[in-house]
């Protein structure tokens, strides 16, 4: 809609052609490649990679995992996989490690101002104004099917208490 109104619009998303060039370059450099995609619901990278994989002879050397994740959760999993790769794990083992880690990893985004969600079209301006006026701040978590609100907090100090409860819950079983 913004483009139709003549507003300048940009994106950080690479074009399909640029992504295809990247896959080819990686496979020219390495015998096997593991691609941990940002969750497909957020970018469409998984679909583009799978399509490329199926149409290129070197595609069988590319292992693709749709992480269902974004930002912090994906970064933590990528770090674990990179450490295992450094120890000499093969691509299949790395992919299994990534999937297992993604099932365990959690991420919580503490939204300070709802105004920014409204600007991005993720909620109404009226709802954002009332939420900000009442001091309500959602806690959002990215899932494979999209971001979900997992809590609603009133005070900034409630964020730390929420985060501590989540850590205690996760580590309660050892």
Per-residue pLDDT at 174: 65
List the alpha helices (DSSP H) in 112-154.
115-119, 125-134
Contacts 24+ apart (CB under 8 A), 148-153: 150/108, 153/110
Task: Tell me the β-bridge partners of 153.
Answer: 137
**pLDDT tens, position by position, 44-74:** 889 999 999 999 999 999 999 999 888 888 9
Q: CB under 8 Å to 56, separation ≥6 — which residues?
A: 23, 24
Q: Using 50, 70 and 90 to split pLDDT, how confident is the model at 136?
A: confident
pLDDT-derived band at 7 (thresholds 50, 70, 90) equals: confident
Window from 24-33, 54-63, 104-113, 126-135 with minimum mean pLDDT: 126-135
Q: What global pTM score does this model have?
A: 0.76
Contact 136, 128 (CB under 8 A): no
């Amino acid at each position: 809609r913004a483009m139709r109104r003549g507003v300048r619009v940009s994106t950080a998303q690479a074009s399909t052609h640029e992504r295809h060039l990247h896959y080819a370059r990686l496979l020219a450099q390495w015998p096997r490649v593991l691609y941990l995609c940002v969750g497909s619901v957020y970018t469409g990278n998984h679909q583009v990679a799978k399509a490329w994989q199926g149409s290129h002879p070197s595609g069988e050397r590319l292992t693709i995992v749709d992480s269902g994740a974004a930002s912090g959760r994906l970064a933590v999993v990528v770090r674990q996989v990179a450490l295992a790769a450094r120890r000499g794990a093969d691509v299949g083992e790395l992919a299994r490690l990534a999937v297992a880690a993604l099932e365990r990893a959690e991420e919580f985004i503490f939204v300070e101002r709802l105004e920014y969600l409204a600007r991005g079209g993720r909620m109404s301006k009226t709802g954002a104004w009332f939420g900000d006026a009442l001091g309500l701040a959602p806690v959002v978590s990215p899932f494979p099917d999209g971001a979900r609100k997992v809590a609603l907090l009133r005070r900034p100090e409630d964020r730390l208490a929420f985060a501590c409860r989540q850590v205690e819950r996760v580590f309660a079983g050892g």
